[in-house]
């Protein structure tokens, strides 16, 4: 590839639009305003178009492609909110039927297209990956040449460059050196950096804001990279544990290293007599939970390595876990997410004879632990109660035509007892559950009478470990810095040059032209240099005048007719 030598002597890379040094337009000899994007520097994507790598590079370096990726992500994300995503449908529902039942044919289609899990779909992931690639290549393709061009720029600029700036003006018959000196003072006060060469100056400020977009793109890339790491093992833990009052359970996801003891769970409701909230609580119609809290103790298991020896549990810390206030230790956080009040925990029974008044039936109460029941209870005197089968959460399985349990939680416990007595050594069976207590076959001589119920509160906690967070924080921080850097400052340049009898001024900014014009106003009010013209605004006004004239003429001819 040939380098391009400008008449000023500077050698530019192939593909340069505006000479890096003097600003002479190298490719386009026209009169229209210069396109100052990326300072007219040569970009790799605009230059090499041969190998496969070049083609891929060129594809992803296009901002147009980048914008398409953004728009596709935007539209896809919107589709994902039409119906709830699969993780938000009621627990226990089968998505295959839920969407159709709830939302009809469109719901079914939604499910079949995989939109119920849109954000985890391969093509959504692919779009995010494409965005990442586009970010890297777009940035690299532009930042290097832009840096070169801004570094190499000379103070004295080519005529074609100055004339074709958006803000341009000339003044005649002035004491050039004196005026430039006065202007320099004004610009100095406005915090411009002044560079001088052969009696010409360029005043520049806010160049660092040009790097803002690249800085924020780096932040985004780090963020996306961090988000990707979550799919690697040991980086991410997401587990749920239910802990009953007074229970100690292993903390899932910690390989049995940590245990959690629930000292007490409690719930507080808003006071309905509180004047402040009375109206709102009336509208709500039910009580509103103010706080729910688990007084938890975190224990660490310390094995001495001897097989069969009892493990020791050492207290690590205790904490009242509430929503917005998790227990954190060793990178793990344990959050309060849900609770269940009054879960059945124990049933107590007494055996009674149906026919006569109990006679020699032992007056012993048996207690069945609904979480983990004992299977046999000896009452003495030849009376034995056995549990044949136990369904903690009884449902009737329509498909297999048999009773079964939906979960291991005693939400709807059902017990099949076999009661052996001296008169009936083989025993007689009965089925006992919530509001049921019936013999299985015909009539029984003995009956287990429910004599007590115990209930428990259960707290639901989420165990989270996310080792990607530090990277996400760094990425997010860099992104914000770059965004602010690029948004809240602008890169302005003002050229003052002597061209024979005339003094030329030109200005360029990457945004906020009104503010640039205010700087020129400050120059012209403190010197004899004439106010330059905003050529874009001038064009616009001229077009409007022409348009108005044409309309007036049209109306005039209407009247004539």
Partner 1 sequence: MPELSSNLLLVAFFLYLLSTILFAVAVTGKKFRNRQGHFQNRSGFLGYVASIIGFLFAMGYFITRWIAAGHAPVSNMFEYTAFLAIMMSFALVIIYTIYKSDILGLFTMPVVMLIIVYASMFPTEIQPLIPALQSYWLEIHVITTAIGQGILAISFAAGLIYLVRVIDFTKRNKRVRGVEFILYTILCFVAYISLSIGFNVAGYEAEFQYINENGQEAMMEYPMPAVVGPNEGQLLTDQAMEPFLSAPSIIESNDLNTVVWSMVSGLLLYWLIRLAIRKPIGAVLQPLTKSISPQAADELSYRAIAIGFPIFTLGGLIFAMIWAQIAWTRFWAWDPKEVWALITFLFYAAYLHLRLSRGWHGERSAWLCVIGFAIIMFNLIFVNLIIAGLHSYA
| Torsions phi, psi for 512 (to 5 deg) | 60, 65
Binding mask 33-52 for partner 1 (x = CB under 8 A): ----x---------------
Residues 252-271 that bind partner 1 (CB under 8 A): 270
Per-residue contact string for residues 194-233; x = within reach of partner 1 by CB under 8 A: -------------------x--------------------
Nearest distance in Å: CB 70, partner 1: 5
Of these, 10, 54, 84, 418, which contacts partner 1 (CB under 8 A)?
A: 84
Q: For residues 112 and 90, give the distance between their C-alpha atoms in angstroms, rounded to a whole number.
A: 19
CB of 222 to partner 1, least distance (A): 14
Q: How far is the CB of 204 from partner 1 (least distance, A)?
A: 20
388 or 537: whose CB is closer to partner 1? 537
The residue range among 26-34, 97-105, 178-186, 364-372 that interacts with partner 1, by the rule CB under 8 A, is 97-105
Q: Which of 276, 306, 441, 561 binds partner 1 (CB under 8 A)?
A: 276
Residue 238 binds to partner 1 (criterion: CB under 8 A): yes
Binding residue for partner 1 (CB under 8 A) from 154, 464, 491, 508?
Answer: 464
Should residue 379 be labelled a site residue for partner 1 when binding is judged by CB under 8 A? no
Segment contacting partner 1 (CB under 8 A): 99-107, 169-177, 255-263, 310-318?
99-107
Stretch that binds partner 1, among 156-164, 191-199, 494-502, 537-545 (CB under 8 A): 537-545
CA distance 485 to 489: 6
By CB under 8 A, is residue 513 in contact with partner 1?
yes
Euclidean distance between CA atoms 393 and 372, whole angstroms: 13
Which stretches of 406-556 are assigned E, i.e. beta strand? 414-420, 428-433, 436-439, 446-466, 492-499, 502-509, 533-534
When asked if residue 437 is in the footprint of partner 1 (CB under 8 A), the reply is no
With 0-12 CB in 10 A as exposed, 13-18 as middle and 19+ as buried, what is 322?
middle
> Cα separation of 16 and 33, whole Å?
17
Under the criterion CB under 8 A, does residue 65 sit at the interface with partner 1? no
Interaction of residue 487 with partner 1, rule CB under 8 A: yes
- Single out the residue of 5, 7, 59, 67 in contact with partner 1 (rule: CB under 8 A): 67
- Contact call for residues 240 and 339 (beta carbons, < 8 A): no
Tell me: does residue 286 bind partner 1 (CB under 8 A). Answer: no
* Distances from the Cα of 39 to the Cα of 24, 27, 135, 139, 493, angstroms: 11, 13, 20, 15, 12
Rank residues 347 and 489 by Cβ distance to partner 1 and give the closer one. Answer: 489
Residue from 188, 264, 376, 512 in contact with partner 1 (CB under 8 A): 512
Q: Which is nearer to partner 1, 40 or 326 (CB)?
A: 326
Nearer to partner 1, 423 or 487 (CB): 487
Among 11, 56, 71, 455, binds partner 1 (CB under 8 A): 71
When computed from its CA atoms, the radius of gyration of the chain, rounded to whole angstroms, is 40
- State yes or no: residue 11 binds partner 1 (CB under 8 A): no
Contacts of 124 (CB under 8 A, 6+ apart): 73, 76, 118
Provide the 8-state DSSP code for 392: T
- Give 171 or 254: the residue with its C-beta nearer to partner 1: 254
Mention every residue, 6+ apart, whose C-beta is less than 8 A from residue 56: none
Among 5, 317, 511, 550, binds partner 1 (CB under 8 A): 511
Q: How many C-beta atoms surround the C-beta of residue 8 within 10 A? A: 15
* Rounded Cα–Cα distance for residues 433 and 421 (Å): 22
Give strand pairing partners of 417: 387, 430
Residue 129 touches partner 1, criterion: CB under 8 A: no
Minimum CB separation from partner 1 for residue 199, in Å? 33
CA 525 vs. chain centroid, Å, equals 51
Of the candidate residues 292, 347, 394, 446, the single one contacting partner 1 (CB under 8 A): 292
Do the Cβ atoms of 421 and 446 come closer than 8 Å? yes
Within 34-172, residue ranges assigned H as helices are: 44-47, 52-61, 63-79, 95-112, 122-152, 159-163
Q: Which of residues 107-126 bind partner 1 (CB under 8 A)?
A: 119
Structure-token pair, residue 71: 């728009």
What CA–CA distance (Å, rounded) separates 330 from 332? 5
Burial per residue of 234-260, b for 16 or more beta-carbon CB atoms within 10 angstroms, e otherwise:
ebbbeeebbbbbeeeeebbbbeeebbb
295 is a site residue for partner 1 (CB under 8 A): no
Number of CB atoms found within 10 A of residue 107's CB = 19
Q: Under the criterion CB under 8 A, does residue 63 sit at the interface with partner 1?
A: yes
Among 541, 546, 550, 553, binds partner 1 (CB under 8 A): 541
We find the least distance from the C-beta atom of residue 389 to partner 1, in angstroms, to be 33
Q: Which among 463, 237, 469, 246 has a CA at the least distance from the CA of 337?
A: 463
Give the one residue of 78, 92, 233, 380 binding partner 1; rule: CB under 8 A: 78
The sign of the CA dihedral 412, 416, 420, 423 is positive
DSSP state of 512: -
User: Residue 496 in contact with residue 200, Cβ under 8 Å?
Assistant: yes
Which residues of the chain form contacts with partner 1 (CB under 8 A)?
37, 63-64, 66-67, 70-71, 73-74, 77-78, 80-81, 84-85, 87-88, 102-104, 119, 213, 238, 270, 276-277, 279-281, 283, 288-292, 322-324, 326, 333, 335, 337, 462, 464, 466, 469, 472, 476, 480, 483-484, 487-488, 511-515, 534, 536-537, 540-541
């Amino acid at each position: 590839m040939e380098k391009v030598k400008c008449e000023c002597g500077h050698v530019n890379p192939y593909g340069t639009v505006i000479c890096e040094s003097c600003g002479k337009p190298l490719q386009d000899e026209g009169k229209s305003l210069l396109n100052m994007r990326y300072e007219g520097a040569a970009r790799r994507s605009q230059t090499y178009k041969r190998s496969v790598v070049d083609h891929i590079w060129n594809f992803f370096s296009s901002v147009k492609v980048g914008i398409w990726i953004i728009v596709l992500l935007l539209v896809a994300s919107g589709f994902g909110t039409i119906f709830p995503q699969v993780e938000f449908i009621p627990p226990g529902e089968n998505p295959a039927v839920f969407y159709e039942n709830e939302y009809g044919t469109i719901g079914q289609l939604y499910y079949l297209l995989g939109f119920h899990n849109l954000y985890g779909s391969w093509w959504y992931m692919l779009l995010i990956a494409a965005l990442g690639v586009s970010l890297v290549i777009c940035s690299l393709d532009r930042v290097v040449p832009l840096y070169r061009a801004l570094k190499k720029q000379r103070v004295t600029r080519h005529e074609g460059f100055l004339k074709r700036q958006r803000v341009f003006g000339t003044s005649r018959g002035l004491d050039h050196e004196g005026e430039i000196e006065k202007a320099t003072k004004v610009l100095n006060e406005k915090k411009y950096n002044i560079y001088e060469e052969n009696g010409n100056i360029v005043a520049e400020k806010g160049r660092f804001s040009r790097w803002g977009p690249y800085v924020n793109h780096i932040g985004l890339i780090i963020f996306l990279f961090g988000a990707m790491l979550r799919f690697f093992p040991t980086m991410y833990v997401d587990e749920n544990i239910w802990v009953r009052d007074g229970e100690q359970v292993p903390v899932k996801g910690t390989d049995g290293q940590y245990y959690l003891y629930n000292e007490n769970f409690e719930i507080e409701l808003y006071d309905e007599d509180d004047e402040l909230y009375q109206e709102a609580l009336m509208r709500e119609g039910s009580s509103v939970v103010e706080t729910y809290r688990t007084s938890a103790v975190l224990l660490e298991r310390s094995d001495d390595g001897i097989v069969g020896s009892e493990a020791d549990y050492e207290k690590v810390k205790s904490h009242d876990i509430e929503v917005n206030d998790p227990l954190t230790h060793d990178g793990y956080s344990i959050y309060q997410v849900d609770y269940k009040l009054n879960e059945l925990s124990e049933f107590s029974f007494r055996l009674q004879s149906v026919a006569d008044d109990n006679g020699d039936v032992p007056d012993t109460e048996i207690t069945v632990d609904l979480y983990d029941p004992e299977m046999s209870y000896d009452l003495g005197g030849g009376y034995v109660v056995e549990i044949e089968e136990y369904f903690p959460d009884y449902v009737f399985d329509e498909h297999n035509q048999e009773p079964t349990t939906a979960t291991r939680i005693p939400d709807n416990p059902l017990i099949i007892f076999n009661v052996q007595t001296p008169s009936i050594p083989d025993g007689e069976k009965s089925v006992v559950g919530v509001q049921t207590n019936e013999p299985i076959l015909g009539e029984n001589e003995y009956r287990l009478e429910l004599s007590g119920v115990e209930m428990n509160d259960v707290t639901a906690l989420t165990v989270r470990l996310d080792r990607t967070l530090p990277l996400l924080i760094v990425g997010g921080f860099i992104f914000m810095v770059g965004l602010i850097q690029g948004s809240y400052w602008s890169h302005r340049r003002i050229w003052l040059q002597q061209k024979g009898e005339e003094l030329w001024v030109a200005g360029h900014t990457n945004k906020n032209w009104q503010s640039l014009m205010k700087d020129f106003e400050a120059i012209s009010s403190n010197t004899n240099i004439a106010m330059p013209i905003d050529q874009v605004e001038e064009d616009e006004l001229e077009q409007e005048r022409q348009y108005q004239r044409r309309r007036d003429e049209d109306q005039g001819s209407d009247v004539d007719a």
